[in-house]
Amino acid sequence: WKEDEGEIRFAINRIMKVKYYTTVSEELKYDSLDTSEVLAKINDDELKPMDYSLEILDIDSDSYVFTVVPLEKHHEVAALFFKLK
């Protein structure tokens, strides 16, 4: 299963805009990677340098449930998502 990188960027930017955060580039950079790798690359290479973190809630599904938080809240949100798993 592979989600289109453009759709991933669109979903992340929709969250970013609602929270009044700076958005990530719409340029496709990782189209040859699978979905989890694209999410990791955007998080590590684009969000974290802007002091944001992508947090993913594992619901044992083909869907990804995620949000973007300030990097300083990463551990708190990750711990909450782990409890919910």
pLDDT in tens, 28-64: 999 889 988 999 999 999 999 999 999 988 777 777 7
How far apart are alpha carbons 31 and 20 in whole angstroms?
27
pLDDT digits (tens, 9 = 90+) for 4-36: 999 999 999 999 999 999 999 999 999 889 988
Q: What is the pTM of this model?
A: 0.87
How far apart are alpha carbons 83 and 79 in whole angstroms?
6
First to last CA, the chain: 21
Vertex 30: Cα angle to 29 and 32 (nearest 5): 130
pLDDT digits (tens, 9 = 90+) for 69-85: 999 999 999 999 888 87
